[in-house]
Amino acid sequence: MKITRVKTIVVNAEMRNWIFVKVETNQDGLYGWGEASLNWKTRAVTGCIEDLEPLLIGHDPRDIELILQVLNKHSYYRLGIIGATAISGIEHALWDIAGKSAGLPVWRLLGGKTRDYVPLYTHLGLGDMKSVYETFDPAPLRDNALRVIEQGYNALKVVFIPYSHYMVDRAARRRVEELMKTLRDAVGENIAIMVDFHGRPASISVALQYIEALAPFDPYFIEEPVQPGDPEAMRLITERAPCPVAAGERLIGYKEFEPLLQNRGVHILQPDLNHTGGLLEGKKIAAAAEEVMIGIAPHNPNGPIAGAAALHFAISTPNFVIQEEMSGAVPWYDDVVSAPMKREGSNWLIPDVVGFGVEINESEAAKHPFKPEVFHSRTAVLDDGTIVDW
């Protein structure tokens, strides 16, 4: 069995572009689907996959570890987030082929079942990105949260931390407290609420003051309280926070996670299997996290194939905690993709499929071509004109 072609299909899903990766083989009808979606970098990622294609041609697609070595080492320059996303999408497709050729679901190849269902959470707005990133008022926050609960979810994530700098005033702290109280009063005591800081605080002090305002309302975890890349700052916040702390969606590969593992800088790690190098890299990160009593809650606001990959990973990973998901984010979702994710309440069921169990209707996908994505980050400016982290 040999790889003969790698191609990408870009589908504009309103809130972002999905980048589907199709790896074809010399066996009739045997191909694999992966996903390499990366917001605001669609053309860079598709170009990277095109550049990497010659390194793949002629390889047996089931030699996944060998191919990853080729893609990472024969590219010479380290690839960063764009290259890691491209490789992740290719690697997903290789796992899909491996499962199909063996007649087994990918989760069987990753180690088999470790649970009977996969706990889920989704975003405020159910795919409406303005609701996710631009809801800073109590009334729409409450209304959007109730819509999520009405869909059967018992866990949701919100992003309402103010755009911040190195200090925070009392009014901003009280605003965060008011929003969290509104949310908790609306959904009740039994709904898990995750608060994504999006790395907005520019100092440990600001992050801790916001955490203190949130803590009385029992967040399930707070996420990315400061920008990635400073494991010591994460450790100091985690040691002082009165609630669980999560981070990791913007880290690439095991090496970037290793400092947080060594200093126990978080309670929950959030590798994005669409960006960190794929499923094998995710399994390495999860195994190392398990050794130091850290759970795994993979980041995934991406498309349906990324969701399928996350599902198979979660089934097979012992220290998995909860999965972020975005299924049904556009009205025509089921026209473009047939995916294995079947939700009951706030859980995915275990699929009995071959490979990932995903199929793309390429003619339907072509009806939603690439469009530039909305730059929500343009609002991340303070009153005095200072540019801050989005």
The pLDDT assigned to 79 comes to 86
Secondary structure element (H or E) that encloses residue 83, with its range: helix 80-102
Mean pLDDT of 163-191: 97
pLDDT of 159 above 80: yes
Indicate the pairing of strand 347-349 with strand 117-123: antiparallel
CB atoms within 10 A of CB 70: 15
Give the pLDDT mean for 357-373: 96
| Two structure tokens written together for 358 | 């995903």
Q: Taking the CA of residue 30 as centre, how many other CA atoms within 13 Å lie in the half-sphere pointing to its CB?
A: 20
368 catalytically annotated: no
The angle formed by the CA atoms of residues 374, 33 and 305, to the nearest 5 degrees, is: 45
Question: Percentage of residues in the chain with pLDDT exceeding 90?
Answer: 90
Q: 109-155, pLDDT tens digit by residue?
A: 999 999 999 999 998 877 666 666 777 899 999 999 999 999 999 99
Cβ neighbourhood burial of 328 (10 Å; 0-12, 13-18, 19+) = middle
- Cα separation, 165 vs 190, in Å, equals 33
Q: Tell me the backbone φ, ψ of residue 305, rounded to 5 degrees.
A: -75, -35
Cβ atoms within 10 Å of 62's Cβ, excluding its own = 17
Domains of the chain plus CATH, in order, are: 3-104 (3.30.390.10), 108-354 (3.20.20.120)
The answer to whether residues 268 and 245 touch, using CB atoms and an 8 Å cutoff, is yes
Is 198 catalytic? The answer is yes
Q: Among all chains, which residue has been given the structure tokens 């009405």?
A: 150
Tell me the β-bridge partners of 11: 18
**pLDDT at res. 131:** 65
- Overall residue count recorded for the chain in this entry: 390
pLDDT band at 316 (very low <50, low <70, confident <90, very high): very high
What's the Cα-to-Cα distance from 173 to each of 104, 116, 210, 218, 355, rounded to whole Å?
A: 51, 41, 6, 16, 48
pLDDT, position 135 = 76
Does the pLDDT of residue 76 top 90, yes or no?
Answer: no
Question: Quick one: CA dihedral 325, 329, 331, 333, positive or negative?
Answer: negative
**Which one from 123, 275, 299, 368 is the annotated catalytic residue?**
299
DSSP 8-state assignment for residue 320: B
**Across-strand partners of 31?**
24
- Are 198 and 390 in contact by the 8 Å Cβ rule? The answer is yes
Question: Helix 231-240 and helix 204-214: axis angle, to 10°?
Answer: 30
Q: Which of 198, 267, 275, 312 is catalytic?
A: 198
DSSP conformational letter for 259: H
Residue 322: pLDDT over 90? yes
**229-288 pLDDT tens trace:** 999 999 999 999 999 999 999 999 999 999 999 999 999 999 999 999 999 999 999 999
